[in-house]
């Protein structure tokens, strides 16, 4: 059982990377580990003094189960967080278990604001979720992210490669730059449409816009209304869950 004011390690297993942070009582959540290799995460965890881990996984199911078993054997107390009912948030799904834990946690992180929010999470996929001032999830979108869109076009070509960044020129001058620019434009168009819809349901200037995920750098943020970048919103949601659910 947690002692009051005891720090907890938060772990997020995304589609490509693992992230971890230490959750101090009433402190800002800042990622302290990020990497693709579970062995590196395991080594980092073993070097920590904290003995409680709160974990959420989007992919890498077998690796997650392996990590949980390994950490429990090493003396850690491990809690795995999955999408579920939680005070202050009302989902829109017929079956809440079908709502991805990453999307759920971004909304859990912001449910206390008591104002409408739009959350755009840009990673392997780009997701948009609308939540009203009462914590009611109005619904969302899921589409391929920058890398995934490019991959669909170049996968069968030996000559073409996926680009990691958006070219400086608006119009491409090679097949690869044309693909990268086209995919970036698709992301920007999706974001603009999401804002237009938010203006319709919440009113212009009637909501707050939050951007999260490693792919935010692929967006043309100049075309977006005022917004906040919260790169670790999933970990922030884990921190909220921890404070509300773990015995202290």
pLDDT tens for 200-224 read: 999 999 999 999 999 999 999 999 9
Residue span(s) of the chain under CATH 3.30.420.40 come to: 8-80, 96-232
CA torsion through residues 193, 196, 202, 205, sign = positive
Q: What is the pLDDT of residues 15-37, one digit of tens each?
A: 788 999 998 877 778 888 999 89
Q: pTM, whole model, 2 decimals?
A: 0.92
Could you give the residue numbers annotated as active site?
102
Domain 8-80 carries which CATH code? 3.30.420.40
Residue 213: both structure tokens together: 């995920």
**pLDDT confidence of residue 225:** 96
**pLDDT confidence of residue 1:** 44
Q: Is the pLDDT of residue 180 over 60?
A: yes
Q: Which of 21-30, 147-156, 169-178 has the lowest mean pLDDT?
A: 21-30
How large is the C-alpha radius of gyration of the chain?
A: 19
**CA–CA distances in Å: residue 158 to residues 8, 86, 177, 192:** 46, 48, 16, 34
Topology given in CATH for the domain delimited by 96-232: Nucleotidyltransferase; domain 5 (3.30.420)
């Amino acid at each position: 059982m947690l002692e009051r004011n005891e720090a907890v390690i938060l772990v997020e297993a995304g589609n490509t990377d693992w992230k971890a942070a230490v959750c101090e009582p009433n402190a800002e959540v800042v990622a302290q580990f990020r990497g693709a290799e579970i062995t590196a995460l395991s080594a980092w965890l073993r070097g920590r003094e904290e003995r409680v881990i709160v974990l959420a996984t989007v992919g890498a199911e077998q690796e997650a189960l392996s990590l949980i078993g390994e950490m429990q054997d090493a003396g850690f107390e491990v809690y795995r967080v999955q999408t579920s009912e939680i005070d202050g948030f009302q989902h829109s799904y017929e079956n809440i278990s079908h709502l991805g834990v990453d999307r759920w946690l971004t909304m859990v992180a912001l449910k206390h604001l008591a104002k409408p929010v739009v959350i755009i999470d840009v990673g392997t996929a780009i997701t948009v979720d609308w939540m009203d001032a009462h914590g009611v999830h109005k619904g969302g979108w899921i589409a391929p992210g920058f890398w995934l869109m490019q991959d669909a076009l170049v996968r069968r070509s030996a000559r073409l490669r996926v680009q990691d960044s958006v070219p400086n020129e608006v119009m491409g001058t090679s097949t690869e730059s044309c693909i990268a620019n086209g995919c970036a434009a698709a992301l920007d168009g999706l974001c603009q449409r999401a804002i237009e819809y938010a203006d319709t349901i919440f009113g212009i200037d009637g909501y707050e816009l939050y951007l999260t995920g490693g792919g935010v750098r692929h967006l043309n943020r100049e075309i977006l209304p005022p917004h906040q970048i919260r790169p670790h919103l999933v970990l922030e949601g884990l921190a909220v869950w921890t404070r509300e659910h773990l015995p202290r």
